[in-house]
Amino acid sequence: MVTFLLGLGILIGGYFLYGGLMDRSIQPDPARPTPAILRPDGVDFVPISTWRVYLIQLLNIAGLGPVFGPIMGALWGPQVFLWVILGAVFGGAAHDYLSGVMSIRNNGAGLPDLIGRYLGRVTQHSAVLFILLLMVLVGTVFVKGPAALIVTILPAETVSIWFGTAGGALETAQFQGLSLWMWIVMAIIFSYYVFATLLPIDKIIGRLYPFFALALLTMVVCLGGALLIGRIETPPFTLANLHPRSVPAWPIIFITVSCGAISGFHATQSPLMARCLKTERHMRFVFYGAMIGEAVIALVWATVSQGYYGGTAGLAAALGPRLNNATVVVHTICNDVMGTFGGVLAIMGVVVLPITSGDTAFRVARLILADYFKLPQTKIRNRYLLALPLFSISLVLNVVPFGIIWRYFGWANQTLAAITLWAGAAFLSRRGKAWWLAALPATFMTVMTVTYVLVESKENGCVGLDYTLGTVLGLIAGATALVVFLWLRTKLPPDESEPALQPRPTEAERASDGIAS
């Protein structure tokens, strides 16, 4: 209990103390018009109230990561708390805040354009392909994950009672290793993604997300309450590696927990809300605060999953032979702790988490292509032109085993976080501010991601070097990146004030430039 409460206290204190330090470095200007005010287009640049922007940001970034990641990370024992808490305060929240601020200060630019501005055009072109791949992987992961959970909650036999269909046939019929019922649920989720990707952001996302947030908050509050009243015991804190298979924590735990502490995916989502925020006064609340909220979710699940099963051995048994069936863990705990009604609400929150990240992943991919090809998005046919190929690729990827998709998503996700933090360090350095707020976590993330690729097994698509050798090479890579940055920052031009925001061109102006759709 003490560990859990202390963790909550550090997260809340981190928002006010370290978040305040970030604020002093950024210097928000309430008098400065945001992109939503100067560049409204009715599709992506839409002024939205602050509380809605916060909830949308929270749901955008809180995919399967803060639930599934901490559950699987809990196999190493209570040491997972350190990464969730410290990683979120010093890494994840700072990362999300910087990516949102950079977008607001650069006309609502997307992540690839921000990387190009602060790390160079060559890096930008590479980032476009890398981020597009990550977005498609996210969309694919966040189709299969919630679909599997829905199939667990609503087996085909139950559906057959409602609609008079042959539930057994839906369960037994197989295509590419998945049941027909699973494919039907995935098709429904895909259909939602199409509408959410193509329609203006305030039509579906802006209206439904507050309701979805209620289910999410119900889940977190109920499970947190079960911890506080002692219905679920909190594990005693130890730094010992309790993994049942003696898997070393470094660096694998950081890839496994992923979004629960820091996530490059978040940097693709912050620009979405940077285009909707009406004042700079609330940048810390929306960007830094949403990541702290996600870390609270991760802390709750990391604690509950260990306490409910009486330790890592029981949790490993529940996760199955591959240690990745977090869906069963979520379903079991919620139903047992809260009963049928509360369990359905809580499970609904977990189902919604990935879906509300999957739809915005495809939306971000569409916007990246639109920015790259200079294709205006006010016409819906242009949105179809960019979005449909992305959905086609994701549909093909759904025949790939979930474990493989999740593994590559995890590494790509953390690598993008390192790149974004280096861009943030350059942003702060050019403004003559505390560049180390971004450079230090960027160095850590560089060491971690390089080490992971080097030491993880060849069976998992990595190099499979000796553990010590791979770690040393990772440290060398991180140190080299830091030295290069320190050398280059002396050559960066000063940038005390960001480029002035420019109003979005009118249809007549676009036509005169030959770019009207």
Residue spans per domain, the chain: 2-399
pLDDT at 509 over 60: no
Average pLDDT over residues 73-96: 95
Residue 115's pLDDT is 92
Average pLDDT over residues 144-166: 66
pLDDT at 404 over 70: no
Distance CA 422, CA 371 (A): 22
Residue in 193, 112, 155 with CA at minimum distance from that of residue 419: 112
CB 467 within 8 A of CB 252: no
Q: Compare 93 and 351 and report the one with higher pLDDT.
A: 93
pLDDT at 429 over 50: yes
Q: Compare 406 and 214 and report the one with higher pLDDT.
A: 214
Residue in 511, 450, 445, 502 with CA at minimum distance from that of residue 109: 502
For residue 178, what are the β-bridge partners? 175
User: Tell me: the pLDDT tens digits for 448-478?
Assistant: 999 999 998 877 778 889 999 999 999 999 9
CB 40 within 8 A of CB 46: yes
Q: How confident is the model at residue 168 (pLDDT cuts 50, 70, 90)?
A: low
Distance CA 67, CA 348 (A): 13
CB 315 within 8 A of CB 307: no
Q: Name the percent of the chain in helix, strand, coil, to the closest 5.
A: 75, 0, 25
Average pLDDT over residues 485-508: 66
Residue 274's pLDDT is 95
Average pLDDT over residues 215-233: 86
Residue in 144, 142, 172, 143 with CA at minimum distance from that of residue 157: 172
Distance CA 184, CA 205 (A): 23
Average pLDDT over residues 431-440: 91
**In the numeric block, which tokens belong to residue 322?**
């591959």
Average pLDDT over residues 479-507: 72
pLDDT at 517 over 50: no
Number of residues in the chain: 517
**What is the overall mean pLDDT for the chain?**
84
Burial class (CB in 10 A: 0-12, 13-18, 19+), 494: exposed
Percent of the chain with pLDDT over 70: 87
Among 81-90, 169-178, 244-253, the range with the most confident prediction by mean pLDDT is 81-90
Percent of the chain with pLDDT over 90: 42
Ramachandran bin of 42, using left for φ above 0, alpha for ψ from -120 to 50, beta for the remaining angles = left
Average pLDDT over residues 10-16: 97
CB 466 within 8 A of CB 435: no
Q: How confident is the model at residue 512 (pLDDT cuts 50, 70, 90)?
A: very low
Residue 417's pLDDT is 94
Q: How confident is the model at residue 156 (pLDDT cuts 50, 70, 90)?
A: low
pLDDT at 513 over 50: no
**102-116, 248-262, 501-515: least confidently modelled range:** 501-515
User: Tell me: the pLDDT tens digits for 118-128?
Assistant: 998 888 888 88
Distance CA 410, CA 453 (A): 11
Taking domain 2-399, whether its CATH number is 1.20.1740 is answered by: yes
